[in-house]
Structure 1
Amino acid sequence: MPSASITTRKSKGGGRRYAVRFRIGGRAFPVQHGGSFKTEREAKERLRFVSGELAAGRDPSLALRALLETPARRTLREHFDTFMESRVDVGGKTQALYGNAQSRLRSLAGLQPQEITPAHVQAWIAENSAASEHFPALAPKSLGHYLSTLRQVLDFCDVTPNPARSPKVKLPERIREEVSPPRSDEWQAIRANLSKRLLLVARLIECDALRVSEALGLTYGDIDFAGQRLRISRARTKGRTAGQRWLPVPLELLDEIAELVPLEDRHRDRLVFPRITENQVRDHIYRACRDAGIAAYSPHDLRHRRCSLWYADIRDAVGLIKWSGHSRPSMLLDTYAHVVLDPAEDEWRGFWQAAYAAERAPGVVPVWSQPTEVGRDAAA
């Protein structure tokens, strides 16, 4: 049976040494060394440990050997990789956000998660708030996203308390600027300088206030040519909830979409705008702004333009969120109520007035391509 004992021996200097010996079984098992100590008290502590391991049915030599081994050092950057691989529940955009946060770890990258303190996190926020030779300054909104990711990674590493959640950690003040979408003359200049390949998708974004991802995610199953409308499905909209909606589409744009692919090839899952990426749309619009000699605008500014024109002309935030995809009317009001754009210069003004009137009138079938009296008056 297993046994453990303390053996006393004399050292070369004339003193005593207390050695712990043990067997993991009967006499068939060799006697193993459990450590040598100057004092009997230390030897008894080791004996208690060895006896406890034997009583639990474990080999004490394995635990003693682990005390001598240097534990593998895993940095926060390495834990980031493990965390990202484990998040099978998130989409590609969220994974890209995690990757962006990992690329801005900077001073935290080489630390172990257990070494990080609130002071380290605050210093990381400060260094990312200022521009350096290799890193541009991050906006407070981006820092907030990256800090949220850091908190998740430290939670994943079971760091308690989480230093990134400390009340000592402060983000820079976030000043929300009013949106400044392109005016009608600027939009016409952008259109004139856009390539033919990107023109239709840009016009659709501007006309229906689509997000870029929503426009590029459209399939022919989302286009109702007979009803003259398109669907933003739950799976392809921001947040996958509030943005789900049906939107009327002018017949002119529907005809151009119909010309892209013959009727017999319009499979339900076929993309309307294949081989076009968000970066391509963004770069082409920036290039068109440069060639037109105007301020640079993003594709999302075209969405801002349409939402601003809707509110300036109709002023019904509750009704308009069915088109804009905002979850609350207050979001539309806070963002677009103060934007100055003249709806009289909008090429789709009559169309949207007719669509709004058709949706508000009981018992009226909303055929949006045929303007009502309101639309004719506006067009006149």
Structure 2
Amino acid sequence: MGSVHAYATAAGERRYRIAFRRPDNTQTSERGFRTKKDAELRLAEVEVAKARGEHVDPSTARITVERLGVEWLASRENVLKPSAYSSLASTWDKHVRPKWGDRSIGSIRHSEVGAWMGELAAHETRKATDGVPAKLASATTIRRAHGLLAAILDVAVHDRRISRNVARGVALPAKSRAMTRRYLSHAQVQLLADEARHPTLVMFLAYTGLRWGEATALRVRHIDALRRRVSVEENAVLVSHEIHVGTPKTHRSRSVPFPAFLSLPIAQLAEGKSRDALLFGDGREHVRLPASRNGWFTAAVKAAQAIDVDMPRITPHDLRHTAASLAVSSGANVKAVQRMLGHASAAMTLDVYADLFDDDLDAVATALDEAKRAAVVVNPLSRERDRLA
């Protein structure tokens, strides 16, 4: 058990300190208590925490957020995909380190973290980025910054440096679900391909739903011409002007069908290339995502809009949405669409593309109506047969 001792400050005021042993059996003390009762209560808390294995040494909470943050980021570098790690590192440099880097973890208060969320919301530019609505981009940035700070403090809690994570439980901006997805018709896809530098790539994205990195990472050996399937095994992502090749987003390979009309264009792309050569482009270098302002894809969209006034302004990723739309309109069920897109579950597909399945609800109502009418006709006939019998 610990003990309580009185002492006099330099100003002659009476104060109390407590002396106790840490869980590792080293001696320590805390001082500055104004009354003996306050000192005894704190000592009791310490002893209970020790008994429960929850004791936190206040001196270990002096470590700064920057020191823990650098260690935490280093531990994630070989775990995360390069694109995900780059996003975290950028958030650390832009938002977390400037605000909290020189603060000791024990000095941060819950109210301060909440105020920081408000500051980030006020200073976000809310300008649309790569076709993402401004409010969604803002909420994502804020939540990512909060998540990074909270993750660092979680480590501090597990290391017994602090007793609780003050970043948890802070109110966060909700991600907007009011995202307008742009879908092209069959005719619009063809028009866009006709105007594009890489027409087969445009058609392929719009009719398979592959992500840009998945499509541009395809190699000749990934094509099964007889079954009209592609095996999605790699993903090429541009990070800091450098292409990083890894596994698909879900870390799982999948087989995706392509329509028969793409067989000849794909065969032409593969002609003369080795099995390990890239299908799209020159076979050696990955086709890079075109610039959003003046790249070849944007130029193709503008050219198509000059011909078709109903052609929406789209990005390459909208071709993935188009593939989902065309598949559903052709009669594909949600499970088939999920497997094609590589979503983790059918629930995720429904969550993302709920608007595409509205017609299914109408079909349910129609089927129920037809079933009811058939039942009403059958019943009188059944009763008539019973009476005659």
TM-score w.r.t. length of structure 2: 0.58
Contact 1:108 1:120 in 2 (8 A): no
Contact 1:178 1:339 in 2 (8 A): no
Amino acid at match of 2:150: R
Secondary structure at the aligned position of 2:343 is classed as coil
The answer to whether the aligner puts 1:119 opposite 2:111 as a matched pair is yes
Percent of aligned positions that are identical: 23
Larger radius of gyration: 1
Q: CA deviation at 1:312?
A: 2.3
Secondary structure at the aligned position of 2:117 is classed as helix
Structure 2 distance, partners of 1:226, 1:258, is 11
User: Which residue of structure 2 aligns with residue 206 of structure 1?
Assistant: 206
User: Which residue of structure 2 aligns with residue 233 of structure 1?
Assistant: 233
Structure 2 distance, partners of 1:125, 1:228, is 50
Unmatched segments (≥5 aa) in structure 2: 1-9, 11-24, 27-59, 128-133, 235-245, 306-310, 360-389
User: Which residue of structure 2 aligns with residue 266 of structure 1?
Assistant: 274
Unmatched segments (≥5 aa) in structure 1: 1-36, 38-51, 54-70, 343-380
Q: How does 1:1-380 map to 2 (within 5 A)?
A: 76-77=65-66, 79-87=68-76, 88-102=78-92, 103-105=94-96, 106-131=98-123, 138-157=137-156, 158=159, 160=162, 161-165=164-168, 167=169, 169-184=170-185, 186-194=188-196, 196=197, 198-233=198-233, 236-241=247-252, 244-263=253-272, 265-268=273-276, 270-273=277-280, 274-278=285-289, 280=291, 283-293=295-305, 295-339=312-356
TM-score w.r.t. length of structure 1: 0.59
Contact 2:217 2:286 in 1 (8 A): no
Structure 1 residues 257 and 104: alpha-carbon distance in aligned structure 2, compared to 1, 3 A threshold: farther
Structure 1 residues 187 and 134: alpha-carbon distance in aligned structure 2, compared to 1, 3 A threshold: closer
Structure 1 residues 280 and 132: alpha-carbon distance in aligned structure 2, compared to 1, 3 A threshold: closer
Secondary structure at the aligned position of 2:112 is classed as helix
Structure 1 residues 149 and 290: alpha-carbon distance in aligned structure 2, compared to 1, 3 A threshold: farther
Structure 1 distance, partners of 2:88, 2:231, is 30
1:319-345 deviation line (CA, Å, top 9, x unaligned): 332222223223323333424999xxx
Contact 2:183 2:325 in 1 (8 A): no
1:217-269 deviation line (CA, Å, top 9, x unaligned): 2222321223321012386322224xx32122234434333333544x4233x
Deviates more, 1:94-103 or 1:278-287: 278-287
Secondary structure at the aligned position of 2:255 is classed as strand
Amino acid at match of 2:74: E
Secondary structure at the aligned position of 1:238 is classed as coil
Structure 2 distance, partners of 1:297, 1:75, is 45
Structure 2 distance, partners of 1:124, 1:245, is 42
Structure 1 residues 289 and 113: alpha-carbon distance in aligned structure 2, compared to 1, 3 A threshold: farther
Amino acid at match of 1:267: R
Contact 1:311 1:337 in 2 (8 A): no
Structure 1 residues 112 and 279: alpha-carbon distance in aligned structure 2, compared to 1, 3 A threshold: farther
Contact 1:213 1:236 in 2 (8 A): no
Amino acid at match of 1:146: A
Structure 1 distance, partners of 2:269, 2:225, is 13
1:19-78 deviation line (CA, Å, top 9, x unaligned): xxxxxxxxxxxxxxxxxx9xxxxxxxxxxxxxx99xxxxxxxxxxxxxxxxx9x975455
Number of residues of Structure 1 aligned to a counterpart in Structure 2? 273
Q: CA deviation at 1:206?
A: 0.9
Deviates more, 1:202-211 or 1:181-190: 181-190
Q: CA deviation at 1:290?
A: 4.4
Structure 1 residues 216 and 341: alpha-carbon distance in aligned structure 2, compared to 1, 3 A threshold: farther
User: Which residue of structure 2 aligns with residue 68 of structure 1?
Assistant: none
1:294-349 deviation line (CA, Å, top 9, x unaligned): 5432222111111122122215223332222223223323333424999xxxxxxx
Contact 2:338 2:346 in 1 (8 A): yes
Structure 1 residues 280 and 227: alpha-carbon distance in aligned structure 2, compared to 1, 3 A threshold: farther
Q: CA deviation at 1:280?
A: 4.7
Q: CA deviation at 1:115?
A: 3.0
User: Which residue of structure 2 aligns with residue 21 of structure 1?
Assistant: none
